[in-house]
Amino acid sequence: MTGKVWLVGAGPGGEELLTIKAKRVIEQAEVVVYDALVGRSVMDLVPESAERIYVGKRAGHHSMAQEKINELLLSSAEQGKRVVRLKGGDPFLFGRGGEELELLEEHQIPFEVVPGVTSALAVPAYFGIPVTHRDLASSVHIVTGHQKKDEPLDISFEALKEVGGTIVFLMGISSLHNIILSLLKAGMEPRTPAAILQQGAGGGQKKISGTLEDIKRKAREEGASTPAIIVVGEVVRLGEKFSWHEKLPLSGKRFIVTRPRERQRELAQGLRELGAEVTELPTVEVRGIHPNPKLREEIFRLSDYRFLVFTSPSGVEEFMRELFDMEKDVRHIGGISIAVIGSGTAKALRRYGLTADRMPETYSGRALGALLSKECREGDRVLIARSDIGNPELVTELRREKDIEVMDVAAYCLHNADQMSRGENRCPDAEPESADGVFFTSASTVRGFFSRYPVLDFSRIRAFCIGEMTAREAEKYGMQVKTAEMATVESLIRSALE
């Protein structure tokens, strides 16, 4: 059976600027062939089972020739697979999308095109530059600035000058000298506003502003780099007035989030909403234990326990998974009291219609152990469902003053995340030493970070930590540690604003 190819525009960066259809198609893919400018958060939508093939092109370096890409799409579809060709921006705007469809059409391979948000419009918007304006520009012209080596730009600059309006050059940094020179030769005013917009629609965006007569010098002095677009026209002036992203409190900052992949979203999203560029770099992976005969045994005799304890959302999820696999539901928990560490764990419980009976003000194993020790009587039994490397302080505190029977069961395992996780055949370096901070939510994420970067100069790392145990682990490696006032994601984000 013949497969099908979806030519999908991934937009200018992260998943938030994807279309709903693009997200659905990506989540159903069996093969994903993707470019350099596709954001990491977009790639996180790709199913674990899908094959990922990187074919990116950056600054003249092509990981795969265009003809080979065309053949790859054809061969994958002929194997009966759902193939997603994922391209930055819109696939039909200087993306060679038409060329890639020609071979498919020739071989009668079914395909669909999913349009994407183009950087030609989105990036200026993120810098507060409206590409059209009733009083300044009634038209916008999107032009490629890319040229083959030693060949002149095939552009009628005279026509651009005569028509007026706003001009947006994509892929034009390497041709900046020729573009500006050609505009001036065509008769455009030297004082026409111009701007180079770098890393647009992301936290690390940078603008170099000037006019046609000085933008080349400013680009050289300020180190213009790709990816970037060039905007020429009177509307550029409005960027100073309408600039909104630069006014966000964490604009221009870059952070690394090390939480397990399934727990990253709230933290990463919170930082992005404040303007930060976020690199999601999970340093640990949560792996459920299936089958889990020990946990199943304790679930069968759950009524023997005074307290059921969860220390993380993952513990809740894995416990419930095992409970449901046993063809039981939350009624089996009955009248047993549930104790948790942290509001995130309590929130995970509420998704199953359960409310935590006990939660210490200080979110730590020691604090929870002390709280439960006061409530338990001699001989009471406590069941803890958590990771295989749980902090021993909880059990120690529970047993400090009373003969309490504690059953500490591994509901899941924590492993250091592989650098090439999820089948990617490229792994861009996160450059942690140049980041404005690295966020750690557990001691295990710190250890996983060290495992990934064992020779790093940790004294240059500013670590934002949840909890004393996490902070102590980061300090052990010599990091500059900032501990959140409360052990919550909200408090952790606030610590980056201080």
- Distance, in Å, from the CA atom of 138 to the CA atom of 140, rounded to the nearest integer, reads 7
The confidence band for 275, taking pLDDT boundaries of 50, 70 and 90, is very high
**Which secondary structure element, helix H or strand E, spans residue 33, and what is its range?**
strand 31-34
Residue 54: partners with Cβ closer than 8 Å, 6 or more residues away: 34, 36, 63, 424, 425, 426
Q: What is 165-182 written as a DSSP string?
A: SEEEEES-GGGHHHHHHH
Q: Tell me how many helices (H) and strands (E) the chain has.
A: 18, 22
Phi, psi of 186 (to 5 degrees): -75, -10
- Distance, in Å, from the CA atom of 368 to the CA atom of 341, rounded to the nearest integer, reads 7
59-68, 103-112, 230-239, 398-407: lowest mean pLDDT where? 59-68
Q: 334-389, pLDDT tens digit by residue?
A: 889 999 998 889 999 999 999 999 999 888 899 999 999 999 999 999 999 999 99
- Distance, in Å, from the CA atom of 423 to the CA atom of 291, rounded to the nearest integer, reads 25
| Coil, helix or strand at residue 313 | helix
pLDDT at 224 over 80: yes
Q: How many residues does the chain have?
A: 498
Strands 193-198 and 206-211: antiparallel
- Distance, in Å, from the CA atom of 218 to the CA atom of 230, rounded to the nearest integer, reads 13
Mean pLDDT of 24-30: 98
Q: Are 265 and 16 in contact (CB under 8 A)?
A: no
- Distance, in Å, from the CA atom of 178 to the CA atom of 152, rounded to the nearest integer, reads 8
Mean pLDDT of 478-498: 93
| Paired tokens of 125 | 């918007």
Total Cβ atoms within 10 A of residue 496: 21
Burial of 405 (0-12, 13-18, 19+ CB in 10 A): middle
Total Cβ atoms within 10 A of residue 497: 9
What angle, 0 to 180 degrees and rounded to 10, lies between the N-to-C axes of helices 313-325 and 293-300? Answer: 80
**Which secondary structure element, helix H or strand E, spans residue 193, and what is its range?**
strand 193-198
pLDDT at 71 over 90: yes
CATH superfamily of 121-245: Tetrapyrrole methylase, C-terminal domain (3.30.950.10)
| CATH of 254-283+417-497 given 2.102.10.10, 3.40.50.10090, 3.20.20.140, 3.40.50.2300 | 3.40.50.10090
Q: Are 385 and 361 in contact (CB under 8 A)?
A: no
The confidence band for 265, taking pLDDT boundaries of 50, 70 and 90, is confident
The confidence band for 422, taking pLDDT boundaries of 50, 70 and 90, is very low
- Distance, in Å, from the CA atom of 230 to the CA atom of 133, rounded to the nearest integer, reads 18
Question: HSE (CB half, 13 Å, CA atoms) of 215?
Answer: 30
Q: Which residues are catalytic?
A: 35, 57, 171
If you ran DSSP here, which 8-state letter would residue 407 be given?
A: E
Q: Are 89 and 11 in contact (CB under 8 A)?
A: yes
Q: How far is CA 239 from CA 6, 66, 122, 246, in A?
A: 36, 37, 13, 11
Q: Are 259 and 439 in contact (CB under 8 A)?
A: yes
Is 287-416 a domain of CATH 1.20.210.10?
no
Which pTM does this prediction carry? 0.82
Q: How far is CA 103 from CA 5, 85, 106, 149, in A?
A: 12, 14, 5, 26
- Distance, in Å, from the CA atom of 316 to the CA atom of 359, rounded to the nearest integer, reads 15
Domain boundaries, the chain: 4-116, 121-245, 254-283+417-497, 287-416
Strands 277-280 and 254-257: parallel
Q: Which carries the bigger pLDDT value, residue 226 or residue 129?
A: 129
Q: 197-208, pLDDT tens digit by residue?
A: 998 987 678 999
- Distance, in Å, from the CA atom of 186 to the CA atom of 192, rounded to the nearest integer, reads 13
Q: How confident is the model at residue 60, as a pLDDT? A: 57
| Paired tokens of 311 | 């220390």
Q: How confident is the model at residue 62, as a pLDDT? A: 65
pLDDT at 426 over 50: no
- Distance, in Å, from the CA atom of 379 to the CA atom of 305, rounded to the nearest integer, reads 10
The topology (CATH level 3) of 4-116 is Cobalt-precorrin-4 Transmethylase; domain 1 (3.40.1010)
* Mean pLDDT of all residues belonging to the chain: 92
Mean pLDDT of 299-305: 95
Q: How confident is the model at residue 424, as a pLDDT? A: 45
Strands 337-340 and 462-465: unpaired
- Distance, in Å, from the CA atom of 291 to the CA atom of 156, rounded to the nearest integer, reads 67
Quick check: do 4-116 and 254-283+417-497 share a fold? no
- Distance, in Å, from the CA atom of 142 to the CA atom of 160, rounded to the nearest integer, reads 10
**Most confident segment among 57-71, 90-104, 135-149:** 90-104
Q: Are 157 and 185 in contact (CB under 8 A)?
A: yes
